[in-house]
Chains A and B, each alone.
Chain A
Amino acid sequence: MGIKPNSENTPSTGGDIKLKSGREGLMGWLNPTRYGWERVSYWLQRLTGVGLLIYFIGHIYETSSLVNGINAWNSMLELTQTTGGHIFLLLVIGASTFHTVNGLRLIFTESGIGIGRPGRPDYPYDATSLNYKQKSGIWVAMLLAAIAMLYGGMVMFGDVS
């Protein structure tokens, strides 16, 4: 009889006290519910990063059609110059703007800028590092992403150049 971490491969016996292993894997990574906007920002940064990497690889492949001549280029362009293609580009614009602005906030944070001074932990134990400057940074990143998407939409769907 004893306390053992609960492993998926080891079924617990009647006498053991079940404990979680503490590793939540991908689901823990994606769970935005426990830590507020900082957590949302955390996984949005990673989600947009992975999305942009996929777009980047796709963009390099798309551009490589240039070497096969004008017909191959125009065929590839037909795929992307559609309403669906433009909406996808809008998402890329929004993702890249958020990733950039939030990334700059993270660089400042890691340099110790904007996280405040350490203080005595008093109830309700709000971390000084999760202050209004950090939250404003996240909101500014989201706002700028929305503005960039709006401008991108006007360029692609409207007359703005």
Chain B
Amino acid sequence: MPLLKLRESQIMKIHYLTGICAVFFVAIHILFRLIMPFGQSLEFHNVVANYHNMYYVILLELILVFISIHGFNGLRIILIELKQNQWWESTITILVLAAMIGVVAYGTRTIIIGSQL
């Protein structure tokens, strides 16, 4: 029985959707670095000021979630292409899901603490 109840075609739709959304959100994220000279935009106080903007915080969280889903699912696809059997596919799925949750949790922690600085 497959570990995930989603069909591979449904997972691919999620993969494409998260990829397209990530492109738009990352473009906004980069524009925030270009509204002033690049080096200046990375100064501590400027970065903390970004984290106090609620809309920007939501944007960062969305980038974190979308890229994590897209990136780790991409890794799963590559690894499943290399070898096919039930044990391998289930193990890879569990590992990438765990890694994805770990990265999202760690990034969310930074966003929450950063917005309270």
Contacts and interface: CB of A to CB of B under 8 A. Distances in A.
Interface of A: 25-26, 29, 46, 49-50, 52-53, 56-57, 60-61, 63-64, 66-67, 70, 73-74, 77, 81, 96, 100, 103-104, 107, 110, 155-156, 161
A81 B43 CA distance: 11
Contact of A64 (B26, B51, B81, B109): B109
Closest 8 CB pairs of A and B: A53-B71, A67-B113, A64-B110, A70-B44, A60-B107, A49-B74, A73-B44, A161-B37
Interface string B38-82: 110010100110010000000000001001100110110010011
Interface string B1-29: 00000000000100010011001001000
B64 A81 contact: no
Interface string B77-115: 010011100000000000000000001001101100110
A70 B68 CA distance: 27
Interface residues of B, number: 35
B114 A57 contact: no
B114 A67 contact: yes
A49 B106 CA distance: 21
B82 A66 contact: no
B34 A57 contact: no
B29 to A, nearest CB: 11
Given A29-B81, A156-B38, A66 B71 contact: no
Contact of A66 (B19, B47, B68): B47
B78 A50 contact: yes
Nearest to B108: A60
B36 A161 contact: yes
18 contacts: A25-B82, A26-B82, A49-B71, A50-B74, A60-B103, A60-B107, A60-B110, A61-B106, A64-B107, A67-B109, A67-B113, A67-B117, A73-B47, A77-B42, A103-B19, A104-B20, A107-B20, A161-B37
